[in-house]
Amino acid sequence: MKTCLVVYVFTIICQLGLFSQNVPNGGFEEWELNTYQAYEPAGWETQNETGLYYVEKAAGHSGSYSAKLSIVWDNVIKSFTGASLSTEENFQVTSRYQTLSGFYKGNSNDTDTLKITVRMYSKDKPVGFGSCFIANANKEWKRFILQIEYNSDEIPDKASISIFIATEGDNHYQTVYFIDDLLLTSIIKSVYGDVGNFALRTDNQTEYKNKIQILIT
């Protein structure tokens, strides 16, 4: 399993792209009513409806707002469901981006995880993919960078992003995650070299990471 990881290293950004937003409403500053008369981030889809709010507006990392993802008890189906947040449609890109970066904070009950996935397309054909899980808790904002791997040399023209909480077990009341400042970026290299295979020890387990590029400021 690929896992988003925090690594404290000095970095060099090989190409520009980190300083301008290229994910539509990736800063979650704009919110609008959906067809169920519930607010959700403009340009994004959620399960929100009147009385059931999986994704809510919260204080932001850099701007006014971020997206808060929770697990909600649905009294109709008698089940807990994790929040899902995805771009409404594939959005336009013009470069062969190598990473998706962003900021997150939050808490898990040790079994729930936040999954982030990015897909790249060329003429509606999938050409790139990246996915990782975040399982650790952070009270302060931390940056993640998820590497995108390509299966062809084609330049993508569209992209999509999905974020959701995967639920396990029965206790979900403590699980909540905040996401902000999503950005497609170019390759990032550490002054110590590329991040390769390494392990991160958490309180409960050692998880092995493979080909994940991470930048923290």
Strands 31-33 and 39-41: antiparallel
Strands 125-134 and 149-150: antiparallel
Quick check: is 191 in a domain? yes
Quick check: is 21 in a domain? no
Quick check: is 4 in a domain? no
Q: What total of structural domains would you count in the chain? A: 1
pLDDT higher than threshold 50 for residue 192: no
Q: Residue 16: which pLDDT band, with cuts at 50, 70 and 90?
A: very low
The CATH number of whichever domain residue 132 belongs to comes to 2.60.120.890
Give the CA radius of gyration of the chain: 17
Quick check: is 181 in a domain? yes
Q: Give the C-alpha separation, 163 to 58, whole Å.
A: 16
Average pLDDT on 172-184 reads 91
Quick check: is 1 in a domain? no
pLDDT higher than threshold 50 for residue 174: yes
Owning domain of residue 145: 11-15+26-209
Quick check: is 118 in a domain? yes
Q: Give the C-alpha separation, 71 to 83, whole Å.
A: 6
Quick check: is 216 in a domain? no
Quick check: is 6 in a domain? no
Q: Residue 20: which pLDDT band, with cuts at 50, 70 and 90?
A: low
pLDDT at residue 104, rounded to an integer: 96
Q: Using an 8 Å Cβ cutoff, are 214 and 3 in contact?
A: no
Q: Residue 215: which pLDDT band, with cuts at 50, 70 and 90?
A: very low
pTM here is 0.80
Closest CA to 92 of 157, 31, 138: 157
